[in-house]
Amino acid sequence: MPRPMMPSRCRAMNRSVVPCGVGSRRGSRGRAPGSGAGPRRRAPEAPTARCRTEAMRAHVSIAPAAFHILVRPPYGLNKMDQAHRVRHAKTVTNAAWRAHRRCGKWIPRPRTMRQGEDILPFQAVASQRLYEQVAEQVTALIARGEFKPGDRLPPERDLAKALGVSRPTVREAMIALEIAGLVEVRVGAGTFVTDKSTHGAHDRQFEGAGASPLELIGARRLIEPEIAALAARQATPQDLAAIEETLAMTAAATDTASHRAADRLFHVRVAAASRNGVLAAIADEFWGEMFSPMFERMGALTGLIAARCSPRQRDATLTEHQAVYRALQAGIPELARSAMDRHLAGVEQILAEGEASDVQEPRVAAGGKP
C-alpha cells in the first residue's frame, strides 16, 4: 500500500540514511519491503526558507561522513563489511545532493569512485635536493646552447654567488653533471662541457647520483653520536667483543678497500650494540650511501678518500675508534657521544672546506692566463 504523502519541507529530509549498523524497515527508494509501487509524485513546490535551512544542515552533517568513508578505506573489515560501508557512503552523499536540489539550489551530482581510482586529482610530489636544482639549471643552459661543447663553466665561486648557494653545493652539482656525462671536471683547470651534452641534455636525471655527501655526513653527526650513547647503556660483553674485533681489522688493514670495510663494520656493530633494530638499519643505510657514485667522486676530488686511507689517517681513525670503544666499555653515554662526534667532525670538515678547494678553480699561470 502506498505511503501517505508527507509535508513538502520534510520530504527532502525523508531519504537521509541511518548510520551503519542500524537497520531500516524501508528501502532506499521509500517503498516498504515487498511493495511494487512507490509513492505518487507531485509537482515540485516552491521551497521555503525553512526547507533550505534544513536541507543545508543535512548536507553539512552528511557529506563529511560520506567523504570520510570514501577517502579512508575501512581497513580491518571483511569484504562484506567493506561493501556495506561503500554503499552507505554513496547513499548518504546522494541524500545530501537530493536535499540541495529539493531546496532549489543545484549542485553537481557527486561522482562515484571506481575501483582503483583516486578520490582527489593530486599528483605525487617529488622531493628534490638542492644540488639537483643547481644541476638542472646548468643543464637547461647547456640545452639552450649557452654553453657549447668544450666551453669552460664559470668558476665555482661565481656560480655559488649567482645561484645563492654554497660552494660545496655547486661542487655536488658539478659532480652530478659529471656522473650524467654532461661535463668533465679537471682538477686545477675547471669544469668543461662534454661533446655528449648536446644529445638529450634536458632529459637527464640526477636521482641515481646518490645523496648529497654534506647532507649525509650532517645526518650521521646528528644520529650516530646518539647511537653510541645508547650503545654505552645497552652493549653486552658479546657486543663489545664484536666491536673490539673490528679494531683489530682496522689495525691490520693494508689497503683502501680493507680499511673502508673495517671502518664500516665498526659503525654497524656499534649501532647493533644499541639494541635498536631501526637505528642499526639506519647506520647500515648511511654506509650504503657512502659508496654511492656521488660520494665516491666527491671523496676523490676533495681528497677525502686519500686522506682517510693514508697511513697517518689510518692510525688516527684507529685511535678515534678506540676512544669510542673505551667509552662503550666504561658504559658512559656522554663520553661515547662526544668521542663519536669528534670522529665524524673531521670527515665533515674535509668535505665542507675541501683539501683541494681549487678543484674547479683554474690555476693562473705566470702570464696571467689560466
Work out the average pLDDT over 265-272.
92
Least confident range of 6-15, 90-99, 128-137, 306-315 = 6-15
Phi-psi region of 216 (alpha: psi -120 to 50; beta: other; left: phi over 0): alpha
3-state SS of 38-85 is CCCCCCCCCCCHHHHHHHHHHHHHHHHHHHHHHHCCCCCCCHHHHHHH
Predicted local distance difference test score (pLDDT) of residue 150: 86
Say which residue, 155 or 311, is predicted with more confidence: 155
Q: Residue 192 has which C-alpha cell?
A: 668543461
What's the CA dihedral at 153, 155, 156, 161 to 10 degrees? Answer: -100
Backbone phi, psi, residue 183, to 5°: -135, 170
Predicted local distance difference test score (pLDDT) of residue 22: 42
Residue 129: pLDDT band by 50, 70, 90 thresholds? confident
Work out the average pLDDT over 229-233.
96
Out of 76-90, 98-112, 123-137, 172-186, give the one with best mean pLDDT.
172-186
Residue 139: pLDDT band by 50, 70, 90 thresholds? confident
**Is a pLDDT exceeding 50 seen at residue 317?**
yes
Q: What percent of the chain has pLDDT over 90?
A: 17
Region 130-209: CATH code:
1.10.10.10
Residue 230: pLDDT band by 50, 70, 90 thresholds? very high
Give the DSSP H or E segment for 248: helix 237-252
Residue 74: pLDDT band by 50, 70, 90 thresholds? very low
Out of 113-127, 270-284, 327-341, give the one with best mean pLDDT.
327-341
Least confident range of 43-57, 123-137, 189-203 = 43-57
Say which residue, 185 or 208, is predicted with more confidence: 185
Least confident range of 31-35, 91-95, 140-144, 265-269 = 31-35
Locus of grid cell 679537471? 186
**Is a pLDDT exceeding 70 seen at residue 178?**
yes
Work out the average pLDDT over 320-330.
95
Residue 195: pLDDT band by 50, 70, 90 thresholds? confident
- CATH class assigned to 213-353: mainly alpha
3-state secondary structure of 186: strand
Out of 31-45, 67-81, 143-157, 201-215, give the one with best mean pLDDT.
143-157
Predicted local distance difference test score (pLDDT) of residue 214: 75
Say which residue, 112 or 330, is predicted with more confidence: 330
